[in-house]
Amino acid sequence: MTRLDNAPQTTDPQPVHKRGWRRWLAAALALLVAALLFGAYGWQPAEDGRAFRSPYLAQVGSRYADTPIARFHYVQAGSGTPVILLSPGGTSVIGWKDQLTVLARDHTVYVVDLPGQGYTQLKDADFAFDLDAMVSAVGAFMDHLGVRQAALAGNSWSGGWALAFAQRHPDRVTKLALLDATGLDLPGTLMWESLKVPVIGELAVKLSTGKSTVRGLAKGMMVNKGRVTEQLLDEWWAPMTFYDNIRATYLLERRLDWAQTERALPITKTPALVLWGKQDTIQPVERAHRFAELLPNEQLVVLDGCGHAPQLDCPEPVNHHLQTFFADSQ
- The set of long-range contacts for 54-63, using a CB threshold of 8 Å and a minimum separation of 24, is 54/94, 54/234, 54/235, 54/238, 55/231, 55/235, 56/93, 56/94, 56/97, 56/231, 56/235, 57/93, 57/119, 60/100, 62/119
Dist CA 162 CA 144 (whole Å)? 18
Dist CA 232 CA 228 (whole Å)? 6
Kindly list the distances between the CA atom of residue 47 and the CA atoms of 36, 51, 235, 285, 292, in Å, as whole numbers in the listed order.
Answer: 20, 8, 14, 35, 41
CA 35 to chain centre: 27
Instruction: Tell whether the model's pLDDT for residue 128 goes beyond 60.
Output: yes
148-186 per-position pLDDT tens digit: 999 999 999 999 999 999 999 999 999 999 999 999 999
Q: What is the pTM of this model?
A: 0.90
Question: 3-17, 54-68, 185-199: which range is least confident on average?
Answer: 3-17
9-29 per-position pLDDT tens digit: 555 555 656 677 777 777 777
Single out the residue of 82, 109, 114, 113 nearest to residue 98, CA to CA: 109
208-221 per-position pLDDT tens digit: 888 999 999 999 99
Task: Go through the chain and tell me how many residues it has.
Answer: 330
pLDDT of residue 40: 58
- Kindly report the backbone phi and psi dihedral angles of residue 2, in degrees, each rounded to the nearest multiple of 5, phi listed first: -85, 130
3-state helix, strand, coil in the chain (%, to 5): 50, 15, 35
- The set of long-range contacts for 161-164, using a CB threshold of 8 Å and a minimum separation of 24, is 161/86, 161/114, 161/131, 161/134, 161/135, 162/86, 162/138, 163/261, 163/268, 164/131, 164/134, 164/135, 164/260, 164/261
